[in-house]
Structure 1
Amino acid sequence: MVRLVPPALLAASALAGPAGADGCRLALVLAIDVSSSVDAEEDRLQREGLARALLAPEVVRAFLAGDPVALHAFEWSGQRTQVPFWPGWVMVEDEPTLERLAATIAGSPRSTDELPTAVGAALARGAIALRDGPDCRARTIDVAGDGFHNEGFGPDLAYREFPFTGVTVNALVIGGSDFEAELVRWFEAEVMRGPGAFVEVAEGYGDYARAMERKLLRELGLPAVSGTPEGDDAG
């Protein structure tokens, strides 16, 4: 039973209801970091990088192979700031839908640039979105971040108090810093969770699109373009 619901997360219950859940193979939540450690240029690179990854030919093919994927996406920073890119869930059944979602992300305004890094609240927001979303065969939360949690309840409390049964949580760590190895270890120990979970690493924001493409291919069930084989998951 969920007992702890921070005020900012109550808004998640207003998400649109299940979007044509019949036959849905995956409900995928994408969450990107807009905390104060992300400057304006880095934010531009991650929005454009995510949009490019969604439209990469292999990713498009993976989205459209078999039953559809339901997609929800939001930006996160402080404990009370998780802002969706579009209302509710979108069922991805054709390439024009992916093009529309990618354009929405690439052209979206940043909600804030001065708040801390509340990873626990971001995870909780993702869990509530999945709870109120379509009944797909698999459920995944995809958290991208470039820093350690530093505000509010942490991932451990989020995992105890919010509905994560059957949910896989993967992470995209934006590295390129002196503390990259430590940050990767923290995400592996504190954020990565569930069956087949893994952490992908981008070597800075200029590498965001490539790393996101690799991660999406693994989550959508196709081998990565290069590098780590699909079955060699972290954890």
Structure 2
Amino acid sequence: MLALTLGGWAGFADAACRQALALGLDVSGSVDAREYRLQMDGLAAALDDPKVRQALMVMPGTPVHLLVYEWSGPEDPTVVLPWTAVTGPQVLNGIIGHLRSLERRNSTPGTALGLAMREGVAHLNQRSECWKRTLDLSGDGKSNLGPRPVDIKSEIEPTGITVNALVIGADAPALGDVRQAEISALSAYFHANVIVGSDSFVETALGFEDYPEAMARKLERELETLILGAAPDLAPARAPGQ
């Protein structure tokens, strides 16, 4: 049934596309089964947030295209939601239900963040016709395998792709100020080594429990950036005198 549903969504792929949004989710060894569930359900909840739903639906003739993949070690990137044009509430509801149904698969413990960036760019290159292309990476740690993220960042900068990040702190409220310091350090790392683009940013979640609200804030901001801006070559022409 899922395969048929996704196949039906793929039929909208030729529609005009205002934004291609690839979401890369960290499933490395530091993310346990509970945190995986919180992350996947958190993304589903964020997509179901009223403000995010409104932003996704505001221009139905030029939909947002979504893709979701999981990443950890060099051999692990896996697409869990192929490119899907969000052409209406029914399609979005299907995406949300699909994300909530996913179960964690086995993955290696490493954190190959640079390769995760390169993976996202490869997917976004399949949507070169979209007005804007955005890579949205979630992670709870620094890279420890593969190419350095800062080197991949320099590869991405000439492409016009925007890379944003959501950094996730440890689920340990008892740590107090230490927890705040850790998330600040990780946020600074992603600022320096990962994000790309003049309007790029890092969102933070103090722990996986805070992930749904942080992801909703980030999605709303990413989608608003395009809605408020103009696509000059695709904007409707005005009649003389207007």
TM-score (normalizing by structure 1) = 0.82
Separation (CA, whole Å) in 2 of partners of 1:134 and 1:18: 16
After TM superposition, the structure 1 = structure 2 runs for residues 25-174 of structure 1, keeping only pairs within 5 Å, are 25-66=18-59, 67-87=62-82, 89-133=83-127, 135-161=129-155, 165-174=159-168
Separation (CA, whole Å) in 2 of partners of 1:95 and 1:18: 14
Which of 207, 212, 215 matches 1:209? 212
- The alpha carbon displacement at 1:111 in A equals 2.4
- The alpha carbon displacement at 1:112 in A equals 2.3
Do the aligned partners of 1:128 and 1:162 also contact (CA within 8 Å) in 2? Answer: no
* Identical-residue share of aligned pairs (%): 42
The equivalent residue for 2:192 is 189
- The alpha carbon displacement at 1:86 in A equals 2.6
Separation (CA, whole Å) in 1 of partners of 2:148 and 2:99: 27
Say what the alpha-carbon RMSD is for the aligned residues.
2.2
Separation (CA, whole Å) in 1 of partners of 2:160 and 2:12: 18
What residue ranges of structure 2 are gaps of 5+ in the alignment? 1-9, 171-178, 229-242
SS state at 1:158 partner: helix
Do the aligned partners of 1:171 and 1:200 also contact (CA within 8 Å) in 2? Answer: yes
The residue type equivalent to 1:49 in the other structure is: G
- The alpha carbon displacement at 1:133 in A equals 2.5
Separation (CA, whole Å) in 2 of partners of 1:218 and 1:162: 21
Separation (CA, whole Å) in 2 of partners of 1:141 and 1:175: 20
Separation (CA, whole Å) in 2 of partners of 1:163 and 1:71: 21
Q: Provide closer, same or farther for how the CA distance between residues 189 and 18 of structure 1 changes in structure 2, counting only shifts above 3 A.
A: farther
Separation (CA, whole Å) in 1 of partners of 2:149 and 2:208: 24
Do the aligned partners of 2:150 and 2:192 also contact (CA within 8 Å) in 1? Answer: no
Separation (CA, whole Å) in 2 of partners of 1:113 and 1:132: 26
Separation (CA, whole Å) in 2 of partners of 1:83 and 1:29: 12
Do the aligned partners of 2:22 and 2:134 also contact (CA within 8 Å) in 1? Answer: yes
- The alpha carbon displacement at 1:42 in A equals 0.8
Deviations 1:6-63 (A, max 9, x none): xxxxxxxxxx89922x431100000100000111111111111000001111111100
The equivalent residue for 2:175 is none
Deviations 1:157-192 (A, max 9, x none): 323446861100000000244622111110010011
The residue type equivalent to 1:138 in the other structure is: K
- The alpha carbon displacement at 1:124 in A equals 0.4
Matched pairs, number: 207
Separation (CA, whole Å) in 2 of partners of 1:18 and 1:194: 28
TM-score (normalizing by structure 2) = 0.80
Q: Provide closer, same or farther for how the CA distance between residues 163 and 190 of structure 1 changes in structure 2, counting only shifts above 3 A.
A: closer
Comparing both structures, which one devotes a greater share of its residues to helix? 2
- The structure with the largest alpha-carbon Rg is 2
Separation (CA, whole Å) in 2 of partners of 1:34 and 1:125: 14
Do the aligned partners of 2:47 and 2:96 also contact (CA within 8 Å) in 1? Answer: yes
Do the aligned partners of 1:131 and 1:163 also contact (CA within 8 Å) in 2? Answer: no
SS state at 2:141 partner: coil
- The alpha carbon displacement at 1:134 in A equals 5.1
